[in-house]
């Protein structure tokens, strides 16, 4: 019985569990469902535990283990190879950073950016039906020019044996005639009208065929775009697997690992190389890579159904077919009517009065029973065909939509797999940066898993876009925002935290915290906005680097600026330069100006608030397009909040001094009655709450009661201490 009866042989980082025990239970000879020897398993587990304890007491540098099977990277003398590990760490970080650029957060992509994947500008148009239509129009014009006039002649000689110079036995006439009905003016006109309608019919049929051709062209363009993105991801995977393969290969020949471990890395590397060769053979390398991670799109199927039902194309086709039939089956064109003017010559046997110019008419009416029954049934057949076409189109639409929706569910599942793998990989690099140590084996495995899930997500999205295009093509509608919108995949309560979060960071804490660690902390806590103090005590160069790093991580920075003295008229002149300099860093400023804390506020409340509003007017004049937010208390007059609302982009309510939800809700009611909740952010002081769980419960309840979705915490220094994080 094999060792895999008790432990997964490839799981050499000793991260075994009950599921791996159950998964790997087998029997000698290939039989299944046979219990392992308990004594053997206990001995095996005891052995691994002892090895684990030994490794804990005598740690040494290891290369990648686990499913990749990369064993300890030591030489024969047992000396460590830290340089090799550092180089591999650098490679991992580089790949991770490139992946964030090549495949940014898909929930940040916009539906408008997906429009390029539905462009068909390079698609050639099928002009066959257009040419046929033009030919029919030309033939119709020619028929219209046939007015029914003809010049007819007649000559006869009764006795051909007679003297050729004798004309008494010959007869001739010259006639100008006009055929009005069959073979003449009316028939030609009706045939011309019929040809015009056949030309229209050809155009409509060509338009329908062009929709199919356009869909195929569209799918081809999408293939190119998605394959380019796949190519980028596979190249990142190749950058990962090449050093992993080399380490695995050395470990195998050094006797540090087994062949099955080496084969895992070999299979991953070779399959990646084959895929890249395939992608390179399809599209030239000079093509530019897709710049966006296409968003997941959803359909408004009801709007699409209504658009298809209101389309008149099928009715136009059937109406044209019936009109063509009417013209071809018109009974008038079966009759003949000819007007003529004739001049007869010769035939001396007739009198002079019978010779010369004569005029007359001829007509012919077939004596037959006419019936419109055949035309009636032909029209019914056309109508039935139109109804069948509409029914078939509806069935195809529902089938294609069902297929699309099934793929959408697969994409959403893969999206969550991607997010999970992204979070695990991110955690490895956070541990490395914050703790200075992290398992290299886990980092490699997590990064490989992230790359694989990224590739699978791109493939799933590609299939989704193909099926979406099929739905639109079946319905006969073009890509438009009224039919297509971005699917809501990102829970608004990001990382299980309700609302959009902001954190105050003051200079003292900022200067002593590493930028990367700070960004990692913000991402971990789901905070995507920061009010950063940048004053005389702030390390300005560090702040610039932090702003750049935050932009890369999609974290918005508002620069805290202002002084309580700004409300006084003598300070108005210095305000423009200060706010312009602050806004120049990020384009957004946060005014932490609190006149209610000044000594003379109680006696001169009205004047101080009037000066405050004047100050805001000056700042808005200097920064008409920049984002301006302000921090306000909850006890100012309602009229003041109403005027503030007109001058700023957002109002941050300082709900300090209590952890009571009822009290906070009561205090902010004046503000919520004066300012739209979409412009309000509720700021809580961390020290007012026992721990992070109490804060989260408070934010959730406040959001439910007030409808406010933006929250802030004051401040970073106390928050990081409250949640027990290490800097």
Q: Domain ranges in the chain?
A: 1-59, 494-722
- The C-alpha atoms of residue 358 and residue 720 are separated, in whole angstroms, by 117
Residue 201 Cα to chain centre, angstroms: 37
At residue 710, φ and ψ (nearest 5 deg) are -110, 130
DSSP letter at 564? Answer: G
pLDDT at 261: 85
CA distances from 575 to 562, 615, 667 (A): 8, 8, 31
User: Does the structure show a pLDDT above 90 at 634?
Assistant: yes
Please give the structure tokens belonging to residue 277: 């060769």
Query: Average per-residue pLDDT in the chain?
Result: 80
Range with lowest mean pLDDT among 58-67, 137-146, 588-597: 58-67
| pLDDT of 351 above 80 | no
Token pair of 495, please?
């990382």
pLDDT score of 375: 80
Structure tokens at 370: 């006419």
pLDDT above 70 (res 52): no
pLDDT per position as a tens digit, 563-572: 999 999 999 9
**639-648 contact pairs (CB < 8 A, 24+):** 640/609, 640/612, 640/613, 641/670, 641/671, 641/674, 641/675, 642/674, 642/675, 643/613, 644/613, 644/616, 644/675, 645/674, 645/675, 645/676, 645/679, 647/613, 647/616, 647/617, 647/620, 648/616, 648/620, 648/679
Q: Which two tokens stand for residue 163?
A: 């003297």
- At residue 162 the predicted structure's pLDDT band, cuts being 50, 70 and 90, is low
* pLDDT, average across residues 580-599: 94
Higher-confidence position of 585 and 82: 585
Task: Assess contact for 558 and 590: CB atoms under 8 A.
Answer: yes
Helix, strand, coil distribution of the chain in percent, nearest 5: 60, 10, 30
Q: Are 661 and 688 in contact (CB under 8 A)?
A: no
pLDDT for 40 equals: 43
The runs of H, that is alpha helices, within 555-596 are: 575-586
pLDDT at residue 46, as a whole number: 42
Please tell me whether residue 537 adopts helix, strand or coil conformation. Answer: coil
End-to-end C-alpha distance for the chain, whole angstroms? 50
What angle, rounded to 10 degrees, do the helices at 313-328 and 185-254 form?
Answer: 150
Closest CA to 655 of 590, 607, 726, 703: 703
Q: Can you tell me which residue has the tokens 């990382």?
A: 495
CB 405 within 8 A of CB 356: no
- Tens of pLDDT, residue by residue over 196-211, are 888 888 888 777 777 7
Residues 221, 119 contacting (CB under 8 angstroms): yes
Between these two residues, 290 and 477, which has the higher pLDDT value? 477
- Secondary structure of 466-511 in the HEC alphabet? HHHHHHHHHHCCCCCCCCEEECCCCCCCHHHCCCEEEEEECHHHHH
Q: What is the rounded average pLDDT of the residues 616-621?
A: 94
Tell me the per-residue pLDDT of 83-138, one tens digit each, with 9 for 90 and over: 578 888 889 989 988 887 776 654 455 545 565 566 655 666 667 777 888 888 88
**Identity of the highest mean pLDDT range in 39-48, 73-82, 603-612:** 603-612
Q: How confident is the model at residue 575 (pLDDT cuts 50, 70, 90)?
A: very high
Q: Is the pLDDT of residue 50 over 50?
A: no
Residue 526 CB contacts under 8 Å (≥ 6 apart), including other chains: 494, 495, 496, 497, 501
Mean pLDDT of the region 479-484: 82
Asked whether residue 61 carries a pLDDT value surpassing 50, the answer given is: no
| Residue 197 near residue 238, CB atoms below 8 Å | no
Q: In 272-319, at which residue ranges do the beta strands (DSSP E only) sit?
A: 297-299
- Of 685, 623, 611, which Cα lies nearest the Cα of 648? 623
pLDDT tens per residue, range 415-437? 889 988 988 898 888 888 777 66
> If DSSP codes are grouped into helix, strand and coil, which group holds residue 631?
strand
pLDDT score at 78: 39
CA–CA gap between residue 222 and residue 228 (Å, rounded): 10
The Cα–Cα gap between 219 and 226 comes to: 10
The pLDDT value given to residue 294? 81
SS3 label, residue 722: helix
CATH of 494-722, one of 3.40.50.300, 3.30.390.50, 3.20.20.80, 2.30.30.100: 3.20.20.80
DSSP 633-647: -S-S-HHHHHHHHHH
Interval 618-630 mean pLDDT: 93
């Amino acid at each position: 019985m094999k060792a895999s009866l008790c432990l997964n042989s490839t799981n050499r980082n000793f991260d075994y569990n009950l599921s791996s025990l159950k998964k790997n239970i087998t029997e000698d000879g290939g039989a299944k469902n046979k219990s392992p020897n308990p004594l053997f398993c206990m001995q095996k587990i005891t052995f691994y535990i002892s090895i684990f304890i030994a490794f804990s007491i005598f740690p040494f540098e290891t290369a990648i283990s686990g499913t990749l099977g990369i064993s300890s990277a030591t030489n024969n003398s047992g000396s460590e190879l830290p340089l090799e590990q550092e180089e591999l760490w650098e490679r991992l970080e580089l790949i991770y950073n490139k992946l964030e650029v090549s495949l940014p957060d898909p929930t940040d992509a916009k539906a408008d950016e997906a429009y390029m994947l539905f462009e068909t500008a390079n698609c050639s148009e099928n002009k066959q039906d257009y040419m046929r239509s033009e030919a029919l129009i030309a033939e119709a014009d020619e028929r219209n020019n046939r007015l029914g006039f003809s010049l007819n002649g007649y000559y006869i000689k009764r006795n051909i044996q007679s003297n050729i110079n004798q004309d008494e036995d010959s007869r001739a006439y010259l006639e100008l005639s006009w055929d009005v009905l069959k073979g003449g003016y009316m028939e030609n006109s009706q045939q011309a009208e019929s040809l015009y309608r056949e030309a229209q019919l050809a155009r409509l049929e060509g338009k329908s065929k062009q929709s199919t051709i356009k869909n195929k062209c569209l799918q081809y363009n999408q293939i190119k775009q998605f394959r380019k993105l796949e190519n980028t991801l596979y190249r990142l995977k190749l950058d990962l697997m090449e050093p992993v393969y080399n380490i695995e290969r050395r470990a195998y020949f050094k006797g540090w690992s087994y062949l099955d471990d080496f084969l895992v890395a070999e299979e991953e590397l070779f399959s990646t190389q084959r895929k890249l060769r395939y992608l390179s053979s399809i599209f030239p390398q000079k093509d530019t890579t897709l710049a966006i991670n296409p968003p997941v799109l959803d359909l408004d199927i009801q709007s699409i159904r209504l658009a298809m039902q209101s389309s008149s194309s099928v009715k136009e086709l059937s109406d044209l077919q019936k009109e063509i039939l009417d013209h071809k089956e018109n009974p008038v064109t079966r009759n003949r009517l000819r007007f003529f003017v004739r001049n007869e010559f010769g035939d001396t046997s007739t009198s002079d009065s019978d010779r010369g110019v004569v005029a007359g008419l001829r007509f012919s009416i077939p004596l037959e029973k006419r019936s419109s029954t055949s035309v009636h049934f032909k029209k019914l057949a056309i109508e039935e065909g139109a109804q069948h076409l509409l029914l078939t189109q509806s069935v195809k639409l529902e089938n294609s939509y069902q297929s699309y929706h099934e793929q959408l569910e697969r994409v959403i599942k893969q999206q969550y797999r991607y997010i999970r793998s992204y979070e695990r990989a991110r955690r490895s690099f956070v541990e490395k940066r914050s703790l200075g140590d992290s398992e290299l084996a886990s980092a490699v495995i997590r990064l490989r898993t992230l790359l694989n899930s990224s590739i699978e997500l791109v493939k799933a999205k590609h299939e989704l876009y193909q099926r979406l295009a099929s739905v639109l093509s079946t319905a006969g509608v073009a890509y438009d925002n009224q039919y297509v919108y971005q699917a809501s995949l990102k829970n608004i309560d990001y990382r299980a935290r309700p609302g959009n979060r902001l954190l105050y960071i003051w200079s003292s804490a900022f200067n002593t915290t590493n930028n990367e660690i700070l960004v990692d902390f913000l991402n971990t806590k789901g905070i995507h906005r920061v009010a950063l103090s940048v004053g005389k005590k702030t390390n300005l160069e560090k702040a610039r680097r932090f702003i750049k790093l935050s932009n890369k991580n999609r974290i918005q920075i508002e620069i805290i600026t202002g002084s309580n003295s700004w409300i006084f008229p003598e300070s108005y002149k210095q305000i423009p330069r200060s706010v312009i300099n602050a806004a120049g860093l990020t384009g957004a400023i946060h005014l932490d100006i609190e006149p209610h804390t000044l000594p003379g506020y109680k006696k001169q409340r009205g004047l101080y608030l009037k000066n405050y509003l004047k100050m805001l007017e000056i700042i808005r004049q200097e920064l008409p397009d920049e984002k301006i937010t302000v921090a306000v208390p909850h006890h100012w007059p309602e009229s003041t909040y109403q005027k503030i609302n007109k001058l700023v982009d957002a109002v941050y309510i300082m709900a300090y001094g209590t952890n009571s939800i009822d009290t906070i809700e009561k205090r902010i009611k004046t503000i919520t009655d004066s300012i739209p909740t979409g412009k309000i952010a509720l700021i809580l002081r961390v020290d007012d709450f026992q721990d992070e769980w109490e804060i989260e419960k408070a934010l959730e309840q406040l959001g439910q009661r007030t409808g406010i979705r933006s929250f802030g915490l004051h401040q970073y220094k106390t928050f990081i201490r409250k949640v027990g994080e290490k800097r």
